[in-house]
Every structure is written in C-alpha cells, then in structure tokens.
C-alpha cells in the first residue's frame, strides 16, 4: 500500500473514531447535540387556571337578632310607671313619655306622645340619622388648597371644623386632617414649580347665613357651649384646651391664619393676611386632606353632644339636598330626609339642628319612631345611629348615670338638657331580654336645675329595665 493510501486510510479511521467519540460525548451531555442518555423529562405542569366562581360563605350577622320569645313587659305596668313619672313633682307640669316594643311595634305607654315639646339635645338624633342616610357613613370632608394662578393660593373649606393645627392623627376624629400635612403638600408643589412666595385667600362659601343662631343665648356662646358654625375650623374653634373653652369668633379665618403659619414653616412666604375670595372653578389643586368618615363624626357628635359639629352635619345635609347651607336650609333638609326614611314628622319644629334653641319642638313619638326604625333589622343603614349612642354607666353623656342598678350597660340613649328642659331618648333592654324604644321629654321642669328631673327619669328607666 502506498503512502498516500495509508494516509487516506488513517484519515478515514480518525474521522470515524472521532465521530464515534463525539457521539459518545453527546450521549453523555459533554458536548452539545441531540443524543442523550438522560431519562425523558416529565411533562410540564399545566399553566395555572383562574379558579371558577364559588358560592359565597354564609354571612354572619354582627348584631344578634331580637329574640321573639323574650317576655314583653305588660303594657299596664309600663303605663303605670310612666304615669308615676309624669306625676312626679320633680318633672314639672309638661312631660311626655312613650315606650314601644321594638320587635312588634306595640306601644306599651303613651302619655302625651303626639304633643311637641322642647327636645334639647335629643334633637341630635334627627340630625345624626339624616346625615347618615343623606351623606352615607363613609363620606369624608375635604379641605383643599387650589392655585388659580402662580403665586396665588386659596384655602377651600369643605365642612371640617375638626382640623388639627399640626399633623393629622390617623385614628382620631378631631384632628384626623392636619394643616401641617396640607401645608407640606402645598409647599412641595410650589417648590417644584419654583414658587417661594404667595398670597392666601379663603373660600368658606360652602355654608351661608349667620355663624350663630339668633335664638342661642349669648351666655351659651360665651361659656363655649357652641362655636360659630363655619365651613372649616381648627379643633372646633377652641381658643384653648378644655371641654367648653372660649371659641374664635371667625373660625374659618383663624384656620386660614394657622395654615399661613404652617406654610411659612415649610419655607413658603405668605405676603399679607389671608382674605376671603372665591376659588375659581377648575383651579389647580395643590393640596388636600380629608376628615374622619361621617359615621365617626356622627358618633362624636352624639357621644359628647357637640352642638357646633351637629350644626355642621345639618348644613351638609342641606348641601346634599340642594338647599342653602344655613340654619333654615339645614333644619328643612333634616326633616325632609327623615320623611324620605318613612318617619312621621308631623308636628315637628326644628329651629336648629343641635337642640340648643328653646323654640324647637318634637313629639316624643317621633323620637321613638326614629329609634325603633334604627333598631329594625330591615334598616341596616340606620343601625349605627343606635349603636353609637352613649351606653349607660359607660360612655359619653351617660358615663356618670346608671352606674348602679339593673340599667347599667342595658340602656343606649341621647340626653338633652336646657334650662327647664330634661329629656332622654333611646333603647332599653329589659332584664328579660326585650328591646324597647323610649322617649321622655319634660320642658317645664321646676327651678333647681337638672339633678331632680334627671333622678326621676333615671329611676323610671331603672324600673322599666327590671320588668320581665
């Protein structure tokens, strides 16, 4: 064999051996290729599918249903107790009493229930219910800053009279929205636009009419029992800490001045003093803070019996109904809203929304009808009005009443007090487990203040609670 033939043969053998070696290497996954000795992989898992609709779980009620087997107190016994209360010298010459079984609607006592009497702060029940139904429990009240043009700001009130002067407190009712937060938002927007100096306007036109009701006693205002009603204020216009401190005469303007100081602390110079001016429609919004929800505001108003905040709620109901947000518009709107909810408002006269005016007059039967409607499982949207009432011996204006005896913890009610007026309306749960709606209005109590008539009313309630 020649040299050339030997070389060619060697090359062929080399190629064959090389090919065989590569195939072997491929089989063992040493080099890339199609051959492998690894086991066949398992098929991939299917792509996750969206689960189909499934039936919703059973809804668990958060409030126990009323027990129809609980004994109803005998009407003659309840009426006898009511008659004794009306005849009690501590109650004076004009007392109306109504007691009604919530579950059946049976009236167990009715002494002068259709005759309108001065309600005092039990009128807040009407305003609270109207606010809950007209506005909704989740509505919040905005306080905004708009910029009509570079260098000009307008602070716009949305009805929040419980603004905080500092940063907002997320779990508070009074002070949920803070002017420091609003100033920080505004300053950030201004710095981005290269603006360091502004003028500040105030738009509080949401509310109209006088800030103080002409029928409110000057002494009530001077003693801090009520604040001038405005579309915005810091801490319900209190000039200092305390339950009934003096109030700023112009709460909205004072809030604007507080906001101007907060802006300055953020490095934005405010030239001149804040002045009232209209915020043009469509002006650029540069800051916004929101109040606590309406349900929490209503709870606050009835728990501490805050007159100014209740008046604010009435005005917001008026705005919702397209009426002027004044004393006249608010009272008309509240009664109209109650009518929409099926309550009989015949004979009802509201001069204000808080009950501070001594010229308001409500039939006790209207208050009982409202309480019974709020307790009716068919009206779940009204239930918070009842659940958020002060509880006997525990909360709000009932914290220091019914601290002993069977009524402790079993009565939810709104109090009412004016010179010569003592009232109480809410629910009683008897010792036998029956839920009753009741109202007591006395508007000609004798001199001596609240201790006498309150003691008589409390004794009556304790006796009703004890009925089986």
Residues taking part in catalysis:
121, 124, 305
Residue 209 sits at φ, ψ, to 5 deg, of 80, -175
Inter-CA distances, 79 with 63, 83, 100, 102, 107, Å: 29, 6, 11, 16, 10
Q: How far apart are CA 243 and CA 224, in angstroms?
A: 8
Phi-psi category of 7—alpha, beta or left, where left has phi over 0 and alpha has psi -120 to 50? alpha
- Four-residue CA torsion sign, 220, 225, 230, 233: positive
What is the signed CA dihedral for 387, 391, 395, 397, rounded to 10 degrees?
Answer: 100
Coil, strand or helix at 268 = coil
Cα atoms in the 13 Å half-sphere on the side-chain side of 121: 24
Q: How far apart are CA 359 and CA 345, in angstroms?
A: 16
Q: How far apart are CA 268 and CA 379, in angstroms?
A: 50
Q: Which residues neighbour 398 within 8 Å (Cβ) at sequence distance 6 or greater?
A: 390, 391, 392, 411, 413, 415
Coil, strand or helix at 293 = coil
Instruction: Evaluate whether 132 touches 316 at the Cβ level (below 8 Å).
Output: no
Inter-CA distances, 377 with 59, 61, 391, 411, Å: 14, 10, 20, 19
Output DSSP code: residue 196.
-
Instruction: Evaluate whether 303 touches 231 at the Cβ level (below 8 Å).
Output: no
């Amino acid at each position: 064999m020649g040299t050339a033939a030997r070389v060619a043969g060697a090359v062929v053998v080399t190629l064959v051996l090389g090919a065989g070696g590569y195939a072997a290497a491929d089989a063992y996954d040493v080099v890339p290729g199609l051959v492998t000795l690894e086991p066949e992989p398992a098929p991939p898992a299917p792509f996750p599918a969206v689960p189909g609709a499934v039936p919703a779980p059973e809804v668990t009620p958060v409030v126990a249903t009323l027990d129809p087997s609980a004994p109803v107190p005998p009407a003659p016994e309840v009426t006898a107790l009511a008659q004794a209360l009306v005849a009690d010298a501590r109650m004076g010459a004009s007392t109306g009493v109504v007691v009604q079984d919530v579950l059946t609607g049976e009236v167990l006592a009715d002494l002068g229930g259709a005759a309108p009497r001065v309600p005092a702060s039990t009128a807040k029940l009407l305003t609270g219910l109207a606010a809950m139904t007209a506005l909704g429990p989740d509505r919040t009240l905005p306080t905004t800053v708009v910029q009509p043009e570079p260098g000009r700001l307008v602070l716009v009130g949305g009805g929040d009279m419980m603004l905080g002067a500092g940063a907002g407190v997320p779990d508070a009712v009074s002070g949920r929205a803070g002017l420091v937060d609003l100033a920080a938002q505004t300053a950030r927007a201004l710095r981005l636009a290269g603006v360091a100096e502004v003028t500040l306007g105030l738009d509080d036109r949401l509310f109209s009419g006088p800030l103080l009701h002409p029928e409110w006693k000057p002494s009530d205002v001077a003693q801090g029992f009520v604040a001038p009603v405005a579309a915005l204020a810091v801490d319900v216009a209190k000039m200092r800490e305390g339950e009934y401190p003096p109030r700023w005469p112009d709460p909205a303007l004072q809030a604007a001045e507080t906001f101007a100081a907060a802006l300055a602390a953020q490095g934005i110079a405010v030239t001149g003093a804040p002045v009232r001016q209209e915020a043009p429609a469509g002006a650029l919004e540069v800051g916004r803070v929101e109040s606590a929800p309406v349900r929490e505001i209503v709870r606050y108003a009835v728990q501490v019996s805050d007159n100014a905040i209740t008046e604010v709620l009435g005005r917001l109901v008026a705005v919702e109904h397209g009426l002027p947000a004044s004393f006249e518009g608010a009272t008309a709107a509240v009664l109209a809203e109650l009518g929409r909810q099926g309550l009989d408002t015949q004979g009802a006269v509201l001069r204000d929304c808080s009950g501070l005016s001594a010229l308001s007059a409500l039939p006790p039967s209207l208050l009982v009808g409202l309480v019974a409607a709020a307790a009716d499982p068919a009206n779940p949207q009204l239930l918070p009005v009842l659940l958020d009432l002060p509880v006997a011996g525990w909360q709000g204006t009932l914290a220091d009443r019914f601290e002993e005896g069977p009524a402790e913890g079993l009565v939810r009610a709104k109090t009412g007090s004016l010179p010569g007026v003592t009232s109480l309306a809410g629910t009683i749960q008897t010792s036998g487990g029956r839920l009753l709606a009741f109202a007591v209005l006395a508007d000609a109590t004798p001199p001596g203040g609240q201790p006498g008539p309150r003691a008589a009313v409390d004794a009556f309630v304790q006796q009703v609670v004890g009925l089986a």
